[in-house]
Structure 1
């Protein structure tokens, strides 16, 4: 930087060059916390000041604030944005940082043993490795410690006895809602080691939040979740792995007709929601945590998580899940089969129409005559009911009009 030189590069001189030479080094250090070389130069009898600074690996604060220029605007970084910025400049990620107050005693040995067993089953870890080489070395081999007893945040997320003592965002909140997000019926909060958190959440959803769909195979009653468990598990594991842990918890909204997951942290740069519906590269917000989860047999490293969710939903006969990147986070929405008896009744269909739709779904088609026999009603009543179901997009009419006409569900 040159002071006393105009925009054309011409030296115009300074009246107070010597005073600036004395004052500027202290002012720069006080304002920015850096050392700069301040030199007095002269050209054609005119004095000017030259200020030389060396590159700094660490971000430089101005009066304790960090300013970032984005396009033509200048932003003051605060909170999560500041922490992410500082970590990025240091070449670090949240999960790879040593938690200064944490010790090996804060990790759960039983969880680590279960992790090791699963990793062995998936042929990603050697049998009895923690016992053979010692816990500290085992964790160090997973890059979960710094080799000197320092415990990284990734280890606390995966194995911590009480991870929220160190990482406030390490928990899951589940809520059961009515028609919209303002109608909260009941809720739960789950915390603990991330290795078993997804499974515990799935069990709670199964037992309390998601009533099973009942069907019969012969004389035997069968019940299953309204959503594929493997898709739910994948959504939970992806949220745990890719979450921005500077933020709040993972949220799960349970509605009659959909299941919604949200974790803070937008998609990694270079990925869009549309990319997640086709083969794509694996981009990891928390690479240390992700690699440990891979070694423990929880996830893959090929960017297949969202594709697995889509495949599971299709195999279950459900619409594809919706992936969204908005409001500073990532959303996954699973849609229920709208041809459930409870949802049909909530939609305001009469008893005959409900029975007719369920029959059509089970048999694959229904005719006007089938509808009359099923409901013991007249042809005119059957025609009126079926016409309404077509108009409301529950059924589609196919075949030739008259005796050749039949109806199928409008998936």
Structure 2
């Protein structure tokens, strides 16, 4: 810090990064301030300046003074990084101690307490504030904490399934369940078995009984607002089962896009969203959510988009500019188990892959937002996607194909209907007659010149101009 910068700091007064001290009166107060700065964003302790920003200077043995500062630093666990410089302003000497910010996965304590800097005050963290601090530093991970579960609470079939995915299907023939848990850091056995939360999330008979937040809630809405609920499911099993059931339910509640190429009368069926993108988003939500939060993962399906939200703000050590380029793991054991089951790669490639898949499908890039304590992924589908299955539940697949064809071509002949569905002409005529009886179609003309069009009400429902 040069003289001009120092004078500016003094002029601005005490803040989250500056502490002004007239003298070194108390080693414990200095230790407290160094600890607070190190646990926040670093800062400067400026000795020889009053709280009112008056530069009085120091008259002391500077060697001894700096030794006192060093002793104050030694009282802190783990020892932070500091440096000091002597400056002369208007013939008065002042000492500036610079405190470096702690590394991402480190925290400093003084007298067994964690101190942080809030505005111009040192604050001792307690209760929820302390838990949040340790979580943000990834010093407190939910999946690494001990539970009260016993071996009887675990489902051996789930363990066996996991081992099979790792190519270790014969492991339990020669080893015990305890051996598996301890060797995989899912439990510790120091006289008494302590099973970690991660084992509950993956292998418990009833995971939801232990952690009610272990839930994925999926809701499909009829409009673009979260008002008219059409379908809803809550998934409360183990991590793997929840992922698979959630993806299946989403797939069941998505429409298809139908394209009929000019050079072929047969339709091509296209997923509304690339399922690989949805899978990646769900797996990421499970892997990176904040399990200390009692909120569930929420998936909202709208006609024009999907929103996937999970509790958990941006992890410390990951700035927004590097999101999607760097992998930071809030739940390290959960992430490792998912990697063993081939759900994640651990290479930080998931987000770029989602973007590429959406672009290949001709869709907008996914949107990734941190909103308060939640991370939300927005996936948007193509405009004007058709939802015939929702609107015409009394029609079979062949008849739905006919409706789709009419949306794009306005008229259809019985021979064309037979071709696009690969059925005989009598079967085509039977289907078309049934659609007329149901009120979906009208027949125009007779004999070989006859063709079919959408009934006025059907055309209005589908917003098709006749």
TM-score between both structures, scaled by the size of structure 2: 0.55
Aligned residue number for residue 91 of structure 2: none
Aligned residue number for residue 145 of structure 2: 97
Write the distance in 2 (CA, Å) between the matches of 1:10 and 1:109. Answer: 63
Q: Deviations over 1:344-377 (max 9, x none)?
A: xx9xxxx9xx748xxxxxxxxxxxxxxxxxxxxx
Residue 60 of structure 1: CA displacement?
Answer: 8.6
Q: Deviations over 1:107-127 (max 9, x none)?
A: 22222222222222xxxxx44
Residue 250 of structure 1: CA displacement?
Answer: 0.4
Contact 2:255 2:387 in 1 (8 A): no
Q: Are the structure 2 counterparts of residues 272 and 338 from structure 1 closer, same or farther at C-alpha, using a change threshold of 3 Å?
A: farther
The correspondence for 2:188, drawn from 142, 146, 149, is 146
Contact 2:256 2:386 in 1 (8 A): no
Aligned residue number for residue 172 of structure 2: 130
Write the distance in 2 (CA, Å) between the matches of 1:235 and 1:314. Answer: 16
Residue 267 of structure 1: CA displacement?
Answer: 2.0
Task: Please tell me whether residue 305 in structure 1 is matched to residue 353 in structure 2.
Answer: no
Write the distance in 2 (CA, Å) between the matches of 1:10 and 1:242. Answer: 46
Write the distance in 1 (CA, Å) between the matches of 2:225 and 2:127. Answer: 31
Write the distance in 1 (CA, Å) between the matches of 2:140 and 2:292. Answer: 14
Write the distance in 2 (CA, Å) between the matches of 1:183 and 1:274. Answer: 37
Q: Are the structure 2 counterparts of residues 281 and 299 from structure 1 closer, same or farther at C-alpha, using a change threshold of 3 Å?
A: same
Contact 1:142 1:292 in 2 (8 A): no
Aligned residue number for residue 220 of structure 2: 176
Aligned residue number for residue 256 of structure 1: 303
Contact 2:217 2:297 in 1 (8 A): yes
Write the distance in 2 (CA, Å) between the matches of 1:206 and 1:188. Answer: 13
**Secondary structure of 2:194's match?**
coil
Contact 1:263 1:329 in 2 (8 A): yes
Write the distance in 1 (CA, Å) between the matches of 2:123 and 2:206. Answer: 36
The correspondence for 2:313, drawn from 222, 241, 266, is 266
Contact 1:111 1:195 in 2 (8 A): no
Contact 2:136 2:316 in 1 (8 A): no
Residue 201 of structure 1: CA displacement?
Answer: 0.2
Task: Please tell me whether residue 114 in structure 1 is matched to residue 161 in structure 2.
Answer: yes
Write the distance in 1 (CA, Å) between the matches of 2:292 and 2:139. Answer: 17
Residue 215 of structure 1: CA displacement?
Answer: 4.5
Q: Deviations over 1:273-296 (max 9, x none)?
A: 44345xx22210011211122122
The correspondence for 1:234, drawn from 266, 275, 280, is 280
Write the distance in 2 (CA, Å) between the matches of 1:206 and 1:308. Answer: 20
Q: Are the structure 2 counterparts of residues 234 and 288 from structure 1 closer, same or farther at C-alpha, using a change threshold of 3 Å?
A: same
The correspondence for 2:339, drawn from 294, 303, 324, is 294
Write the distance in 2 (CA, Å) between the matches of 1:232 and 1:238. Answer: 10
Aligned residue number for residue 85 of structure 2: none
Task: Please tell me whether residue 244 in structure 1 is matched to residue 286 in structure 2.
Answer: no
Matches within 5 A, 1:5-404: 7-8=22-23, 55=76, 68-72=116-120, 81-86=129-134, 91-99=139-147, 101-120=148-167, 126-148=168-190, 149-177=193-221, 178-207=223-252, 209-215=253-259, 223-247=269-293, 248-277=295-324, 280-342=325-387, 355=408
Q: Deviations over 1:145-189 (max 9, x none)?
A: 124521111111122222222222211111122221344444221
Write the distance in 2 (CA, Å) between the matches of 1:73 and 1:7. Answer: 16
TM-score between both structures, scaled by the size of structure 1: 0.62
Q: Are the structure 2 counterparts of residues 84 and 69 from structure 1 closer, same or farther at C-alpha, using a change threshold of 3 Å?
A: same
Which runs of no fewer than 5 residues in structure 1 stay unpaired?
A: 1-5, 12-51, 121-125, 357-411
Write the distance in 1 (CA, Å) between the matches of 2:154 and 2:360. Answer: 39
Q: Are the structure 2 counterparts of residues 89 and 55 from structure 1 closer, same or farther at C-alpha, using a change threshold of 3 Å?
A: farther
How big is the alpha-carbon RMSD for the aligned residues of Structure 1 and Structure 2? 4.0
Contact 1:273 1:324 in 2 (8 A): no
**Secondary structure of 1:263's match?**
strand
Write the distance in 1 (CA, Å) between the matches of 2:135 and 2:317. Answer: 20
**Secondary structure of 2:272's match?**
coil
**Secondary structure of 1:150's match?**
strand
Write the distance in 2 (CA, Å) between the matches of 1:163 and 1:113. Answer: 17
Write the distance in 2 (CA, Å) between the matches of 1:225 and 1:111. Answer: 31
Contact 1:115 1:195 in 2 (8 A): no
